[in-house]
Amino acid sequence: MLHMQNIGKLYQTEMVQTQALREFNLTVEEGEFIAVTGPSGSGKTTFLNIAGLLEPYSSGQYTLDGIDIGKLNDNQRSDLRNQKIGFIFQGFNLIPDLDLFENIEVPLRYRGIKAKERKKRVEQCLEQVGLAGRARHLPQQLSGGQQQRVAIARALAGEPRFLLADEPTGNLDSLMARQVMTLLEELNQSGTTIVMVTHDQELARRTPRNIQIVDGQVADFTLYQGGHAARETVNKTVGA
Amino acid sequence: MSEIKPILSALKRSKTGAILLVLQIAITLALVSNAMSIVFDRLDKMTQQTGYDEQSIISYLVVTYDKRIDKAKQFDEDIQKLKELPGVIEALAVSSVPLTRSGGSWMLSTDPDDLKGKSVDSGYLYGNHTLVGALGLKVTEGRDFTENDVVYDRKKEYPTVAIVSRAVANALFGEGKGLNETIYSGNNAAKVIGIIDTIKSQWPKSNIADNLVLLPLQDSTAYQKFVVKTTEHQRAEVMNKIEPLLLELSRGRVVMDVKALDKSKADTYASDRLMIKMLISIVVFLGIITALGIFGLTHFNISKRTKQIGTRRALGARKSTIFKHFLLENMVVTSLGMLIGVIGALLLGRKLMGVYDVPPLENMSILLTAISMIVMSLIAVLVPAQRAANISPSVATRSI
């Protein structure tokens, strides 16, 4: 469903040029759960931004669900993010002035969904992440783990085909991290495709497929089967 | 408009900045609309028709100190010579000059005993039969003075006819009446032979601004005022010639205060113009402060919420959605400020009326102020809102 071919990303300032991604190739199939790891500065976030249509790429081709992203304008990209992609951020990125219900509602409002339907979906998602009954709480009244669950609920509310998680457990202690990870695994089992960027090797080992980014390229490709460390390095070029 | 509810609840939860801005808008609206109301009132008074041909009239004063001069004879000669100057249409001696805040006033009555009849305060102005024409006035009802009406020595007799302003006639005899009625000032009686609709007294800012009586009486005093009517484009030329000409005809006197009537009027309104300028400065100042306030608060809100805006973009908000979000938020704050401001303006207006001599607050003034403040606040929010709309969705994934 996600297909990147020879993607390059060049950041240019007056002084320096930085090649954040180069000849980046990746294919993600429907229903996969992938962990993307790599040292800091390797291009993980750039990959995530491009995959999530948060920033444009400089060269190559990217198709998401059969749609050529390069041909979309800003509004179309916004709409596509809204409809197909759910985001989970390291810092949760909840809107502090809105209560949980209103936070989860945000993407649904952007999609123009009617109030009644919004209410139904928000309540359903809150239930799913185990926070039913706390709809009128403000984010700062919750613990970190709870906040991240709200963020997951927000990502799920739009029923996305594709979930992008940026260090989803980076700000959580290990117990909460495990809870969030379990939640993600459940979601994946129910059919959502997930790409998770993390620097936590332990977490990465729990996903069926790992990708390592080094110097803006996919460095190796590792498969874990059934959570066991049956490591298999595959060619750099994947799914081309 | 489905965005309005979350905007309201967000404002409710972080209200300090918004409340300050609401107050600022309210105070500005209350002050500005009252100030503008006063400005409009003054402007209205300043631009009212006076009935005089202001652009072609000159007035001057002759102080005759040489007692040997036969003033009546000398003034006749003065006027004859003045009329020979190119551009001069009419010249005559008058008791005072309109619109200059100096002259005589009296109490008029419908009965010799003013306790019995109706009475009114009024200015009076006298000169010979050319008075009405020389001032550019038009008799609306009745007739102008004739040469036979004119009295030359008031010690012996008193004018028996008068032309009054419509305001005087209405006050004494009722709406639309007064022609051919008799007016009394003590034992002096005069018949109203003419009524003038558009005319102002010597005190155009006072409560007797519209009250004036014209009398056919020619005087020749040691302190004598004159008016000269010229063609409009030759007035300046004539003004320069008056003093040399008169002194050439006879020494032993001083010619002073040679002044155009529109200039005299402007002097009368100088304090009002100053007041208008001051009020407008305050209005502009307040306007700028409020605009800066709106601009600043929006800017601050955007800087504070950069990440939030990026997140909203990531969750599917279009640029235009973000732009509208800030516009809408600003509109909520502005409308609330307006609402409080209108109430404040009305209360302040009433208070001011009680304490100072100001006219009642015009609804038009509130409306115009409110409209201009809405426009101003929209302009102030456009740039920051555009900046917000241009925030990249990728800031959502930035860790700082």
**ipTM of predicted complex:** 0.89
Number of neighbouring beta carbons within 10 Å of residue A190: 9
The structural domains of chain A, with segments of one domain joined by +, span 2-233
**Co-location of B122 and B207 in the same domain:** yes
Are the C-beta atoms of residues A163 and A89 closer than 8 Å to each other?
no
> B380 to chain A, minimum CA–CA distance in Å?
24
Res B2: pLDDT: 56
Find chain B residues with C-beta within 8 A of A74's C-beta: 318-319
Interface of A with B in 50-69 (CB under 8 A): 52-55
Q: Identify the domain boundary among B218, B238, B256.
A: B218
Task: Give me the residue label for tokens 């197909």.
Answer: A84
Q: Which pLDDT value is given to residue B350? A: 86
Which of B197, B218, B239 is the endpoint of a domain?
B218
Nearest CA in chain B to A171: B399
Residue given tokens 């032993």 in the structure block: B252
- The answer to whether residues B274 and B212 belong to one domain is no
Q: Which of A73-77, A236-240, B244-248, B279-283 has the lowest mean pLDDT?
A: A236-240
Residue-by-residue DSSP string for B147-211: GGG-BS-TTT---SEEEEEHHHHHHHH-TT--TT-EEEETTEEEEEEEEESS---S-TTSTTTT-
The DSSP symbol for A17 reads: E
Question: What share of residues in chain B are helix, strand, coil (percent, to 5)?
Answer: 55, 20, 30
H/E element holding B64? strand B57-64
Do B189 and B299 have their domain in common? no
Cα gap B221→B232, rounded to integer Å: 29
A9 DSSP assignment: E
Average pLDDT, chain B: 90
Rounded Cα distance, B25 and B332, in Å: 12
* pLDDT computed for residue A29 by the predictor: 93
CA dist B373 → A160, B30, B41, B283 (Å)? 44, 11, 21, 11
Torsion angle, alpha carbons of B301, B325, A138, A197, to 10: -90
Task: Please indicate whether, in this complex, the C-beta atoms of A102 and B6 are within 8 angstroms of each other.
Answer: yes
Q: Which two tokens stand for residue B105?
A: 């006033």
At B155, phi and psi to the nearest 5?
-75, -30
- Residue among B397, B398, B400 with most chain A CBs within 10 A, to mutate: B397
pLDDT at B279 over 60: yes
Per-residue pLDDT of chain A (240 residues; tens, 9 = 90+): 899 999 999 988 888 888 899 999 999 999 999 999 988 888 898 999 999 999 999 999 999 999 999 999 999 999 999 999 999 998 999 999 899 999 999 999 999 999 999 999 999 999 988 899 899 999 999 998 899 999 999 999 988 999 999 989 888 888 888 888 998 999 999 899 999 998 888 888 899 999 999 988 888 655 444 443 333 443 333 333
- If pLDDT is split at 50, 70 and 90, which confidence band does B353 have? confident
Mean pLDDT for B172-182 is 90
d(CA B55, CA B46): 15
B394 touches chain A (CB under 8 A): yes
Rounded Cα–Cα distance for residues B129 and B150 (Å): 6
What pLDDT is attached to residue A178? 87
Looking at domain A2-233, what is its CATH homologous superfamily?
P-loop containing nucleotide triphosphate hydrolases (3.40.50.300)
On whether any CB of chain B is under 8 Å from the CB of A110, the answer is yes
The predicted-structure confidence for A157-169, as pLDDT tens digits, reads as follows 988 999 999 989 8
Number of residues assigned to chain B:
400
Domain membership of residue B76 (yes or no) is no
* B312 at interface of A, judged by CB pairs closer than 8 A: yes
Q: How far does CA B257 lie from the centroid of its chain?
A: 25
SS3 call for B398: coil
Least confident of A225-239, B68-82, B141-155, B181-195: A225-239
Task: Judge whether B9 is closer than 8 Å to chain A, CB to CB.
Answer: yes
Same domain, B213 and B283: no
The distance from CA A142 to its chain's CA centroid, rounded to whole angstroms, is 22
Contacts of B9 in chain A (CB under 8 A): 97-99, 102
Count: domains in chain B: 2
Q: Which of B10, B316, B397 lies at the smallest CB-CB distance from A81? A: B316
**Residue B93 in domain:** no
Check whether residue B291 and residue B360 sit in a common domain: yes
pLDDT above 70 covers what percent of chain B? 99
Is position B204 within any domain?
yes
**Over 90: is that where the pLDDT of B240 sits?**
yes
**Is B111 part of any domain?**
yes
The single-letter code of the amino acid at B110 is: T
- Residues B391, B283, single domain; the answer is yes
What the block records as the tokens of B23 is 């107050």
Residues of A in contact with B317 (CB under 8 A): 78, 110
**Minimum Cα–Cα distance from A85: chain B residue:** B315
B279 inside domain: yes
- Identify the residue among A78, A117, A147, A161 best suited for mutation to test binding to B, counting B beta carbons within 10 A and taking the highest: A78
Please give the pLDDT value at position B6. Answer: 84
- Residue B343 structural domain: 4-47+270-397
Last residue of a domain, one of B148, B183, B218: B218
Q: Is the pLDDT of residue B59 over 80?
A: yes
Residue of A240 and B303 predicted with greater confidence: B303
Judged by a CB distance cut-off of 8 A, whether residue A162 touches chain B is no
According to the model, what pLDDT value does residue B18 have? 85
Question: What is the reported pLDDT for A72?
Answer: 94
Question: What local confidence, expressed as pLDDT, does residue A18 receive?
Answer: 87
Distance from CA of A227 to the nearest CA of B (A): 28
Query: Residue A13 and residue B77: Cα distance in Å, rounded?
Result: 92
Separation in Å, CA B130 to CA A43, B214, B218, B376: 99, 11, 11, 55
Chain A CA closest to residue B10: A97
- Report the percent of chain A where pLDDT is more than 90: 63
The DSSP result for A206-225, as a single string, is: TSSEEEEEETTEEEEEEE-B
| pLDDT tens digit sequence for A173-226 | 888 888 889 989 999 998 999 999 988 888 888 999 999 999 888 886 554 444
- Which secondary-structure segment (H or E) carries B349? helix B319-355
Q: What is the mean pLDDT of residues B306-332?
A: 93
- Cβ contacts of A109 on chain B, cutoff 8 Å: 2-3, 6
Three-state SS for B95? coil
Whether the CB-CB separation of A24 and A216 falls below 8 Å is answered with yes
pLDDT beyond 80 at B276: yes
Q: What is the pTM of this model?
A: 0.75
